[in-house]
Amino acid sequence: MLLANRSMPISSSGNVNAVKRRGSRFVISKFLYKIGSIWVVLRNTFDRLSCTLWILSRPACGGLTVGLKFGGIYVSLRPFPIQSAAMWPKGFKLTLFFVLLLWLAVACERPSAADTSALTQLQSNPAAAAASLATPTLANTAVPTLTVLATAVPPTSTAVPTGTPLPLFAESDVIPCGQRLPLLPTNNNPTTNSLSPDTTAVAALLAELPEVARPAWEQLLADPGSVGLVVYRVGDEANGIYHNADVQMPLASVAKIIHLVAYAEAAAAGQLDPTSYVTLETLNRYYLPGYDLGSHNRAITELTEAGLVLSNPERIRLEDVPWMMMRHSANAATDYLHLLLGQDVIEETAVTLNLTQQTAPCTFLGQFLAMSNQTRQGQSDRVAMQNYLDDPARYGAEAAQLAETYVQDDLFRDAEQTYHRAERRPSSQDQRFFSHNLNAHGTPREYAALMAQIAQNGLSNPESSFLARRYLEWPMIFAANQERFSNLGYKNGSLPGILNTAYYAYPIGEVTPTVVILFFHDLPGSLYREWRNTLPHDEFARWLLDNPEGFALLKAALAPAP
């Protein structure tokens, strides 16, 4: 604390006596005494102020020095000589003026003792301080933030798709095979297991039968129980040839006629746009190399050479997909249409076509993966197939799920392709077992009726009939067929041990078609491989299409000897 001339501090008690003792050396008037009293009162007030202010009078004013300090005020009143009576009023007035000015300023600036006490109490009570009104400031107003409202299901971030294989055989939206049709045949025992033909009739037949078609006839004689045959001229069904006509037999790719009709009906109804595009990348997702005898790649090559594959990205029109299915019997194209239309539509189409003995067609991709797949490493494919026969619903579900996973998941698809290349599974014996038991089945009689229906524009409307015939009659591009027929519809089928042919034809000059259905199954492996190249079964069927004499010879040869 700063004191002028070592003056002792003036306490709040004994202020007046101290002034009197020091005033004995001076002449102090009664008026000055009163002013001193007022000064003491002012000093007591200033003691409580929390600031420091110094007011120093000039020596001419009598040497008055006043010291003020905020936070505990001390005032030092230094004795000063009165040099003349004339100077006092001036010094007095000056002193009084500054004192009063200071008093007024402090009184307006600082709270009273009672207010200070209240402020101290408020500051010592944080809760009370927090409850007080906020002091307005010039600070920037905070930007309001959005309040997240509670929802019934807390929002979560969307997962980034990965190449992790889909869980197999788990519940999903995949529709299993077997929605309206059974999965297994119930009538596959042949009605004719042996033949005892008249030798004369056989000799007459062989005299007319082309050499390339003879192996088919010989196989029919050797194992008649493994052959289904229906031949008739539409309108004259009563005089037709029927051999194991009502026995359910594996269809292989002949079942694709159902897909063709389903597509034609959907396109005619405006449900599909044939001029829309399908990328080759999309079609390749349905392709399992090594299971179609190269048909998928041949179809793409032919479309490319014809200038029908557009670029950026590589794509074809939807109307070219059924062509791939019928012209090249491409499984990938078939399965694309199958899943595009849906399992329900495929099976409903078969029902609408009165295929009462038809079993459910599963995707070819699903069938091949059900034969053998990477999830079955170390396990027997044959045991798995037998389990399917014991539990057909499991087969329908797994075939559909495997196909869907292969199409949708890149890693699973790559792994499957690697597995089938490396493991060389399933074995040819297991392929035969599966194809003869779990492939879609139908009867020769019902497929003969279906071909006759299409040949006579018998689908739901003229447009769908036209579309179906347009694809079935692709063999008319060959000059040899144009020389013999005005119209020729055809679909073949091939799986290990199975070779099938379905025909309708209008011979030149005829107004009614002839239909031929010829199904072979349980062919020995070597014979099957040979026939895939020489096609004697196909030559045998073609010979019957426009050869009424040959038809009569065959019917006689099949009749039991008298």
How confident is the model at residue 325, as a pLDDT? Answer: 99
Q: Which two tokens stand for residue 52?
A: 């420091």
How confident is the model at residue 517, as a pLDDT? Answer: 99
Q: Tell me which residue of 539, 544, 325, 545 sits closest to 455, measured CA to CA.
A: 545
User: 101 to each of 34, 65, 235, how far by Cα in Å?
Assistant: 18, 16, 134
Give the type of residue at 502. A
Q: Which domains occur in the chain, in start order? A: 4-112 (no CATH), 199-361+440-558 (3.40.710.10)
Q: Quote the CA–CA distance of 170 and 256 in Å, as a whole number.
A: 29
Number of other residues whose CB lies within 10 A of the CB of residue 32: 17
Q: Quote the CA–CA distance of 99 and 92 in Å, as a whole number.
A: 10
Between residues 5 and 377, the one the model is more confident about: 377
Q: Quote the CA–CA distance of 490 and 475 in Å, as a whole number.
A: 7
Is it the case that residue 426 has pLDDT exceeding 60?
yes
Q: Quote the CA–CA distance of 144 and 147 in Å, as a whole number.
A: 9
Average pLDDT over residues 16-37: 43
Tokens 């029109």, residue?
A: 317
Crossing angle of helices 392-408 and 381-390, in 10° steps, is: 120
Q: Quote the CA–CA distance of 118 and 128 in Å, as a whole number.
A: 12
How confident is the model at residue 35, as a pLDDT? Answer: 53
pTM: 0.71
Average confidence score pLDDT of the chain:
80
Q: Tell me which residue of 448, 452, 485, 346 sits closest to 403, measured CA to CA.
A: 346
Beta-bridged to residue 93, according to DSSP, are none
Per-residue model confidence as pLDDT tens digits over 470-523: 999 999 999 999 999 999 999 999 999 999 999 999 999 999 999 999 999 999
Q: Quote the CA–CA distance of 64 and 42 in Å, as a whole number.
A: 15
Per-residue model confidence as pLDDT tens digits over 94-106: 555 555 555 554 4
How confident is the model at residue 62, as a pLDDT? Answer: 41
Is it the case that residue 540 has pLDDT exceeding 50?
yes
Q: Quote the CA–CA distance of 419 and 369 in Å, as a whole number.
A: 11
Per-residue model confidence as pLDDT tens digits over 253-300: 999 999 999 999 999 999 999 999 999 999 999 999 999 999 999 999
